[in-house]
């Protein structure tokens, strides 16, 4: 018998069973009051997996391992941070301050994925007209993208069941509310409840969801932190000074949290920064000023050349302080202490300022030796040579320890035109020698190799005492 398209379909929310008339109890799973009117929920991805989830404890070895299917977006920088694309059936939180570009990022993602997957952009912040205008301005082909401007959860729920999207964007989780929990959206309970309901739908359906969450400055609405534990992946979008916007993973059930995605905001929305190796390097004529040291750092799977800057001035009131927001101040103090002990430099009567050009925050160990060189250069007024870079971890005893991916750092620096590279005696896992590699076992040796020629020639910039 041919199916009549106009005949109503009722779907069990619990198991996805469908039938032509409403029933109080599902004949398939036995649950009560689970039927809703609407199209069948297609069981794909996680829903299929969910159906296979045993109701009793089993031996782990008897469970079939399933490799998650990933959807590739049109933004490779986003895919990189996610660990190689969006895992089907996963929930992703994208947090960031208002105005950072979350809606822009997600609209670009949704339009790209909308060409291949049924995609719904749920907006509680902007009208469909506003979103259309933005999409047109960004030059996005949005003809396959579904838009729904609604904030009430039960209406959203109905839409999800009718449209049955494979990808859902919720902009933002703070605008959703369920009348069962009061009239005010954005309360902790509302956010948690709405997130839970949608995540549950996604798990059953095998759909992927992006929740946008505004990071708020202690305001009336709760921040995205409260739902971090309820999602698979947490991304934060931020801009720590400079033009570049950074997308980082704070939690990732399906990949590492080391990768960063780099974007710049322009006329046509967010542009990806494809080759960032020289992005943070400052173009300079002639020699470097004192306190400035270029260094290759390893961020995720890429080497970036950065410029570390240090400045020391006599401490106000005799009490020395460290001002550093791009490198942990504790680490700066530790490296300064190593220099006091092993290079006989006094920092205890100095205020120390440390900065990284371009606003990138650095956490990897390889910046310790460049930081030591920058502090030494700032304190003595001796300039770091412009053709040289440096990388290494510094121990409390003043030794230089190997850093990961030594050769890749060396190669990246060479590509940028650096001819000398101060590094540890042993490069770690990679053994053979390389051109331009100057080995140093300790901070003092490194200082000697870099600064001794200048010291001897009497060259010195003006230093404060
Ligand atoms: P938006 O994505 O709305 O930020 P969020 O959703 O995180 O609050 O956009 C942020 C800013 O970007 C906004 O101030 C306008 C600016 N912008 C551009 O400069 N170019 C563009 O093409 C777009 C869409 C926005
Ligand atoms: Mg927005």
For the chain (465 residues), the mean pLDDT of every run of 10, in chain order, is 59 72 76 68 41 72 75 91 92 94 96 92 95 94 91 94 95 91 84 94 93 78 85 90 85 88 91 82 83 91 90 88 94 96 93 90 93 97 93 96 88 88 78 76 95 69 43
Residue nearest to atom 22 of ligand 1 (CA): 269
Structural domain includes residue 317: yes
Quick one: pLDDT at residue 412? 87
The pairing of beta strand 302-314 with beta strand 292-299:
antiparallel
Is residue 33 located within the same domain as residue 174?
no
Is residue 35 located within the same domain as residue 115?
no
Structural domain includes residue 59: no
CA of 140, nearest ligand number:
1
Is residue 110 located within the same domain as residue 257?
yes
Quick one: pLDDT at residue 430? 57
Quick one: pLDDT at residue 429? 57
Q: Does the C-beta of 104 come closer than 6 Å to ligand 1?
A: yes
Residue nearest to atom 1 of ligand 1 (CA): 101
Q: Does the C-beta of 140 come closer than 6 Å to ligand 1?
A: no
Quick one: pLDDT at residue 404? 87
Quick one: pLDDT at residue 13? 67
Which residues, in sequence order, are bridge partners of residue 262? 246
Q: How far apart are the two ends of the chain, measured CA to CA in Å?
A: 95
Domain that holds residue 382: 292-464
Is residue 369 located within the same domain as residue 420?
yes
Q: Does the C-beta of 139 come closer than 6 Å to ligand 1?
A: no
Structural domain includes residue 382: yes
How close is the Cα of 235 to the center of ligand 1, in Å?
Answer: 18
Structural domain includes residue 161: yes
Cα–Cα distances in angstroms (integers) from residue 74 to residues 54, 104, 115, 122, 222, in the given order:
37, 14, 10, 20, 31
Is residue 328 located within the same domain as residue 199?
no
Structural domain includes residue 52: no
The CATH number given to whatever domain includes residue 232 is: 3.40.50.300
Which residues, in sequence order, are bridge partners of residue 293? 308
Is residue 170 located within the same domain as residue 311?
no
Nearest to 212 by CA among 278, 268, 194, 111: 194
Structural domain includes residue 340: yes
Is residue 110 located within the same domain as residue 215?
yes
- Mark which of 272, 301, 328 sits at the end of a domain: 272
How far is 405 from 288, CA to CA, in rounded Å?
Answer: 26
Quick one: pLDDT at residue 45? 37
How close is the Cα of 338 to the center of ligand 2, in Å?
Answer: 46
Q: Does the C-beta of 238 come closer than 6 Å to ligand 1?
A: no
Ligand 1 atom closest to the Cα of residue 106 is 2
Quick one: pLDDT at residue 231? 95
Quick one: pLDDT at residue 110? 95
Residue among 104, 172, 267 whose CB has most ligand 1 atoms within 8 A, to mutate: 104
Is residue 348 located within the same domain as residue 205?
no
Ligand 1 atom closest to the Cα of residue 107 is 2
Is residue 92 located within the same domain as residue 234?
yes
Structural domain includes residue 186: yes
Is residue 32 located within the same domain as residue 77?
no
The CATH number given to whatever domain includes residue 453 is: 3.30.230.10
Quick one: pLDDT at residue 141? 87
The two counts, helices (H) then strands (E), for the chain are 10, 23
Structural domain includes residue 56: no
Is residue 373 located within the same domain as residue 311?
yes
Query: In degrees rounded to 5, what are phi and psi of residue 12?
Result: -80, 125
Residue nearest to atom 15 of ligand 1 (CA): 99
Residue nearest to atom 24 of ligand 1 (CA): 269
The pairing of beta strand 86-87 with beta strand 91-96:
unpaired
How close is the Cα of 107 to the center of ligand 2, in Å?
Answer: 10
Is residue 246 located within the same domain as residue 99?
yes
Quick one: pLDDT at residue 151? 94
Q: How many domains does the chain have?
A: 3
pLDDT, tens only, 402-414: 988 888 888 889 8
Q: Assess contact for 320 and 350: CB atoms under 8 A.
A: yes
Q: Does the C-beta of 350 come closer than 6 Å to ligand 1?
A: no
CA of 126, nearest ligand number:
2
Quick one: pLDDT at residue 60? 84
């Amino acid at each position: 018998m041919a199916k009549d398209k106009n005949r109503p379909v009722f779907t069990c929310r619990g198991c996805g069973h469908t039938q032509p008339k409403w029933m109080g109890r599902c004949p398939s799973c036995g649950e009560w009051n689970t039927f809703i009117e609407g199209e069948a929920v297609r069981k794909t991805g996680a829903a299929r997996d969910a159906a296979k989830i045993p109701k009793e404890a089993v031996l782990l070895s008897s469970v079939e391992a399933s490799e998650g299917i990933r959807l590739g977006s049109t933004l490779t920088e986003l895919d990189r941070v996610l660990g190689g694309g969006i895992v089907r059936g996963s929930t992703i939180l994208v947090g960031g301050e208002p105005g950072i570009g979350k809606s822009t990022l997600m609209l670009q993602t949704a339009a790209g994925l909308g060409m291949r997957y049924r995609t719904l952009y749920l907006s509680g912040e902007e009208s469909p007209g506003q979103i259309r205008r933005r999409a047109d301005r960004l030059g996005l082909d949005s003809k396959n993208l579904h838009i729904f401007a609604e904030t009430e959860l039960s209406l959203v729920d109905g839409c999800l069941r009718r449209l049955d999207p494979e990808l859902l964007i919720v902009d933002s989780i703070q605008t959703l509310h369920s009348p069962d929990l009061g009239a005010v959206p954005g309360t902790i309970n509302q956010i948690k409840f709405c997130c839970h309901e949608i995540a549950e739908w996604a798990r059953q359906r095998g759909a992927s969801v992006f929740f946008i969450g505004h990071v708020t400055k202690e305001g009336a609405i709760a921040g995205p932190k409260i739902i971090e534990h309820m999602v698979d992946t947490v991304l934060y979008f931020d801009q720590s000074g400079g033009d570049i916007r950074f997308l980082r993973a704070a939690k990732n059930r399906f990949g590492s949290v080391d990768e960063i995605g780099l974007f710049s905001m322009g006329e046509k929305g967010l542009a990806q920064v494809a080759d960032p190796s020289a992005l943070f390097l400052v173009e300079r004529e002639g020699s470097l000023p004192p306190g400035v040291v270029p260094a290759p750092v390893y961020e995720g799977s890429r080497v970036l050349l950065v410029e570390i800057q240090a400045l020391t001035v006599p401490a106000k009131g005799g009490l020395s302080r460290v001002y550093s927001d791009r490198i942990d101040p504790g680490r700066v103090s530790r490296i300064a202490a190593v220099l006091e002990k092993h290079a006989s430099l006094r920092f205890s009567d100095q205020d120390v300022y440390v900065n990284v050009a371009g606003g990138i925050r650095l956490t990897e160990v390889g910046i310790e030796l460049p930081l030591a060189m920058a502090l030494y250069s700032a304190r003595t007024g001796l300039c770091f040579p412009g053709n040289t870079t440096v990388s290494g971890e510094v121990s409390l005893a003043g030794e230089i320890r190997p850093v990961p991916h030594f050769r890749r750092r060396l190669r990246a620096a060479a590509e940028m035109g650096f001819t000398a590279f101060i590094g540890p005696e042993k490069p770690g896992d990679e053994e053979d020698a390389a051109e331009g590699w100057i080995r140093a076992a300790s901070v003092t040796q490194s200082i000697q190799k870099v600064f001794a020629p200048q010291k001897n020639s009497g060259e010195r910039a003006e230093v404060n005492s």
